[in-house]
Amino acid sequence: MISLIIPLYNEEKLVDELMDRCLGVLNKIGEDFEIIFINDGSTDHTLEKLLYHKEAEKRISIISLSRNFGHQAALTAGLDFASGDFIAMMDGDLQDPPELIEEMYLLLKSETWDIVNGKRRSRKEGFLKRVVISVFHKIFKNVSGLNEIENTGNFSMFNKSVLHAFRSLKEKIRYLPGLRAFVGFRQGFIEYDREVRTDTKSKMHLRDLFKLGLDAIFSFSKTPLRICIVLGIIGVVVFLFAGIYVLIAKIFGFALLGWTSTMLSIYFLGSIQLIFLGVLGEYVFRIYKETQDRPVYFVKEIYK
C-alpha cells in the first residue's frame, strides 16, 4: 500500500485540483493507497472541502490538528499515522508535481533505492526567496556534513524501514530534509522543476524560512560554536600582542592617554561576546525545548 502525506494550511483554493491530480496518479499506479491530509489549523474552508472529497473517496484520511503547528510538525503527524509500505510526502500547494510519485514508486519498487528525493532543478519563486534558499542550502550542506541534501525539500518517497527510522527520531525541533539525509539507507534522486504556486500565496514567509534555516543549522551542526572558538582564539592572540605593546609603552614611558584604544577594545570585545552569547543561547534554547519534551503536535480530530 502507498501512503501519501500532505500538510495543508489554508489551501481551500487548491484542494480540488490537488485532489484530482493525486487521485489521478495513485489510480494510475494501481496499488492500494491512502492519502493522509493534515489540516494544520486552517482557518478557511480547507477542512470542509477535504470532508466533501472524503465522501466520494474513502481512502482519504484527514488528521485535524488542534491549531497551526507548522509545516514540519504537520508532516510529522502524517508520518506517525501512515500505514503504507511506501510512503510519500509532498507539499499541498502543487509546487511539487504529484505525477512524479509514479516514477518514485517504480524506483522504490524495483529496489533501486530506499529513499527517492525530489531534487529541484529550478525554482520559480521570487528573486529574494530564491537567493535566501540557495544561500541556506550552500551553508547547510557545508556545515551539516550531510551530502546530497542540496536542493531537496520535503518531496520524497521511501519504504517502511525508512519510515521506522523516521519515527524513532524523537527530537522536537525537526528539519525533515536533514533528518532524511541523516537516517542513511540508499538514497536516490529524481530531478524536477519546481512550479510557482498557482493562485495563492506561500504560507511560509521569509521569516518562517529563516527560522527553519536556523533550526536546520543549529540542530545538525556545531560549526557556529566552532566559529566562536576560532574567533575567540584569534582575539586572544591579537590582544596578547596588544597587551605586550601596552606594557612596553608603559615601561618606556610613551603610553598615551589611550582613550581611543580603550573604547575600541571595549566595543569590539563587548560585541563579540554578545554574538557568542547569542550563539550559545540558540543551543541552550534548543536543549530547553528538547527537555521540555512537549509533543510536536496535538490532534483535534481524525476522520478515517
Residues making contact with ligand UDP (CB under 6 A): 7-9, 11, 40, 68, 70-71, 74, 91-93, 95, 202-204
What is the 8-class DSSP label of residue 249?
Answer: H
What's the closest the beta carbon of residue 111 comes to ligand UDP, in angstroms? 30
**177: partner contacted, choices ligand UDP, Mg ion, none (Cβ within 5-8 A by kind):** none
- Of residues 3 and 95, the one with the C-beta less far from ligand UDP: 95
Where does residue 70 fall: left (phi above 0), alpha (psi -120 to 50 degrees), or beta otherwise?
left
Is 95 near Mg ion (CB under 5 A)?
A: yes
Task: Give the total of residues touching Mg ion (CB under 5 A).
Answer: 2
Residue 74 contact among ligand UDP, Mg ion, none, beta carbon within 5 to 8 Å by kind:
ligand UDP
Yes or no: say if 138 and 210 are a contact pair by the CB < 8 Å rule. Answer: no
CB of 220 within 8 A of CB of 178?
Answer: yes
Closer residue to ligand UDP (CB): 92 or 178: 92
Name the segment binding Mg ion (CB under 5 A); options: 77-85, 93-101, 228-236, 256-264: 93-101
Question: Is residue 154 close enough to count as binding Mg ion by CB under 5 A?
Answer: no
Site string for Mg ion, 35-74 (x = CB under 5 A): ----------------------------------------
Kindly provide the b/e burial profile for residues 105-115, where b requires at least 16 CB atoms within 10 angstroms of the residue's own CB. Answer: bebbeeeebbb
Instruction: Please tell me what DSSP assigns to residue 93.
Output: T
Considering the complex, state which of residue 64 and residue 187 has its C-beta at the smaller distance from ligand UDP: 64
As a dihedral over the C-alpha atoms of residue 10, residue 40, residue 181, residue 281, rounded to 10 degrees, the angle is: 100
221 binding partner (options Mg ion, ligand UDP, none; Cβ < 5 to 8 Å by kind)? none
With cell 532543478, the residue in question is: 121
Taking CB within 5 to 8 Å according to partner kind, which of Mg ion, ligand UDP, none is near residue 11? Answer: ligand UDP
User: Choosing among Mg ion, ligand UDP, none, which partner's interface includes residue 70 (Cβ < 5 to 8 Å by kind)?
Assistant: ligand UDP
Q: Give the integer Cα–Cα distance in Å for 114 and 181.
A: 12
Would you say 31 or 48 has its CB closer to ligand UDP?
48
- Residue 78, binding choice from Mg ion, ligand UDP, none, Cβ under 5 to 8 Å by partner class: none
Give yes or no for residue 93 binding Mg ion (CB under 5 A).
yes
Unique residue bearing C-alpha cell 509500505: 85
Burial class (CB in 10 A: 0-12, 13-18, 19+), 248: exposed
The answer to the question of residue 34 lying near Mg ion (CB under 5 A) is: no
Q: How far is the CB of 81 from ligand UDP (least distance, A)?
A: 15
DSSP 79: H
Pick the closer one to ligand UDP by CB: 93 or 114: 93
143 binds, among Mg ion, ligand UDP, none (CB under 5 to 8 A by kind): none
Cβ atoms of 49 and 20 closer than 8 Å: no
First-last CA distance in the chain: 16
CA 151 to chain centre: 12
Provide the 3-class DSSP secondary structure of residue 154.
strand
The residue length of the chain stands at 304
Q: Work out what residue 120 binds among Mg ion, ligand UDP, none; the CB cut-off runs from 5 to 8 Å by kind.
A: none
Residues making contact with Mg ion (CB under 5 A): 93, 95
